[in-house]
Amino acid sequence: MNKIGFDAEKYLEEQSKYILERINEGDSERLYLEFGGKLVQDKHAMRVLPGFDENAKIKLLHRIRDKAEIIICIYSGDIATSKVRADFGITYDLEVMRIIDMFRQYGLSINSVVVTRYEDIPPVNMFINRLERRGIKTYKHSFTKGYPTDVDTIVSEEGYGANPYIEVSKPIVVVNAPGGGSGKLATCLSQLYHEKQRGVTARYAKFETFPIWNLPLKHPVNIAYEAATADLKDVNMIDSFHLDAYGETAVNYNRDLEIFPVLRRIIERITGAESEYKSPTDMGVNRAGFCISDDDVCREAASQEVIRRYLIARCDYKKGKTSEECVSRCKLLMDELNLTIEDRAVVKAARDYVKEYEDDLDENIAVMALQLPDGSVVTGRSSDLMVSAAAAILNGVKRICGLADEIHLISPHVLGDIQNLKSDILLRERNTLNVEEVLTALTISGATNPSAEMAVSKLTALRGCKAHCTAILSDKDENALKAAGIDVTCDPEYISTNLYFG
């Protein structure tokens, strides 16, 4: 049974109260609230803070929906390079559309989408056209002239003034994005400039869950944040500004600390008054650190996340998606916590299976280990019939249901017929069944097979379970496992030399 280390209900109550207090401070007419991290389905927070509600942030906004509207930022370069959100395996442009749908489900008002550092190139323009033709207003913001050192130019008609003003009407404007580096801060500051020109008193604040400012610098939860942002080269540091101003230790990260003196000068130049903030930590409204109910549980979960991020980085490097520097950074963070790859139980289980049966295994056979909710581990190996992930899932639900290994959940004839369809009708190069095909067959079999019906009813029990494969999964299988809520990692090896059909 999964242990809980975070009080989700307390977090909702305390965080919403604190945000409202920040909004009501001073005499400003509008607050621009930069929301870092994932507003919906924050899988990272859920993994490192067991008990955290992955949709807590959007539920917070739902409570103040009458006062708030949302602007979504996306960097044009991320559209051009088809940058992917790792948790769901979809590109940032598609993620923007997905979160718009999610916001609407919660009754939240979507103001617009801003394409930051706009580039006049086909994929960016196609994205804008697609949104506008579906009734979503879009704005183009260019790179801010003079940024970050020439404050006179930044706060002028040549700088922020060159961007169009985003027409807003509510007292709280939430600025969100599909990921880091999307231009949220620049959008907020540009709006502050335009509000001042219109005679509106506006303020800025930031809601960033990680790093958690009131946890120790080297707490595993904060180190897990560094691992998650290794590609951005984020490094946690003591907030020296906060220490100088209040004599209190707080944790922030390098980008916020580096930009704070410039940010403070920009805000003071825009408003014509001394900044209300003495430190980057002052700008934040995060209360997550006050809602940890079991520190040991969160430390262990965060340590597992650091291992997970390292394994993912190694596979991404093999795929050409990340740099060797990113992999090295993740390895250093593992070493900092005295962790090894095999501290992730499913890694050791998968590798132990290979060692035990190495004389019987072909070099093109992959093995997946799957840890069940009770802590036990099952394995599955690839075959001419199905991929290892599908075999592991079938073995896992059998174990949960208390069914014997020799019981067929799916008739061999059904599986053979699907293979024939793939090879003879669809002319696929490989007819091995993937995860989605096997689960579809299992579901259909449930209509006539009581064991299969029972197995299907237990598939949701695998949500949140960890898995590890001794070979890199296909994109289809990786996405299917993510959709099923299974937290999967792989060794950075391909089981085939094929570049496309492997």
CATH code (residue 397):
3.40.140.40
pLDDT of residue 500: 56
Which run of H or E residues covers position 207?
strand 202-207
pLDDT at 286 over 80: yes
pLDDT of residue 380: 96
Q: Give the least confident one: 58-67, 138-147, 469-478.
A: 58-67
pLDDT at 502 over 70: no
CATH number of the domain residue 198 falls in = 3.10.630.10
* Nearest CA among 29, 21, 19 for reference residue 196: 29
Q: Residues 226-283: pLDDT tens digits?
A: 999 998 888 999 999 999 999 999 999 998 999 999 999 999 999 999 999 999 999 9
User: What is the three-class DSSP state of 381?
Assistant: strand
Q: Residues 318-377: pLDDT tens digits?
A: 999 899 999 999 999 999 999 999 999 999 999 999 998 877 777 779 999 999 999 999
Q: In the numeric block, which tokens belong to residue 146?
A: 């003079």
- Residue 29 Cα distances to 71, 169, 199, 267, angstroms: 18, 10, 10, 16
The domain boundary residue, chosen from 209, 228, 243? 209
pLDDT of residue 29: 87
pLDDT of residue 431: 80
pLDDT at 298 over 90: yes
Same domain as 185, residue 39: yes
Radius of gyration in angstroms for the set of CA atoms belonging to the chain, rounded to a whole number: 25
Measured in whole angstroms, how far is the alpha carbon of residue 414 from the centre of its chain? 37
Q: Is 276 a domain residue? A: no
- State the DSSP code for 474: P
Q: Give the least confident one: 63-67, 69-73, 107-111, 449-453.
A: 63-67
Q: Residues 35-44: pLDDT tens digits?
A: 887 777 889 9
Q: What is the mean pLDDT of the chain?
A: 92
- Residue 431 Cα distances to 23, 109, 127, 234, angstroms: 58, 46, 35, 43
CB 250 within 8 A of CB 281: yes
Where residue 208 falls among pLDDT bands split at 50, 70, 90? confident
CB 3 within 8 A of CB 375: no
Q: In the chain, how many domains are there?
A: 2
Same domain as 350, residue 205: no
Walk across the sheet containing 377-381 and list its strands: 377-381, 367-371, 466-469, 487-490
Q: Residues 163-203: pLDDT tens digits?
A: 999 999 999 999 999 988 899 999 999 999 999 999 999 99
- Residue ranges with strand state E in 22-116: 30-35, 68-75, 84-85, 90-91, 109-116
CB 153 within 8 A of CB 159: yes
Q: Is 196 a domain residue? A: yes
Q: Is 330 a domain residue? A: no
Q: Is 261 a domain residue? A: no
Q: Is 501 a domain residue? A: no
Q: Is 248 a domain residue? A: no
pLDDT of residue 63: 86
Q: Is 48 a domain residue? A: yes
pLDDT of residue 128: 97
CB 29 within 8 A of CB 200: yes
The pLDDT of 441-448, averaged and rounded, is 95
Range of the domain at 136: 8-209
Where residue 498 falls among pLDDT bands split at 50, 70, 90? low
The domain boundary residue, chosen from 177, 209, 241? 209
Tokens 């903030």 correspond to what residue?
277
The domain boundary residue, chosen from 171, 187, 209? 209
- In 50-172, alpha helices (H): 56-63, 76-80, 92-105, 122-132, 151-154
Q: Is 329 a domain residue? A: no
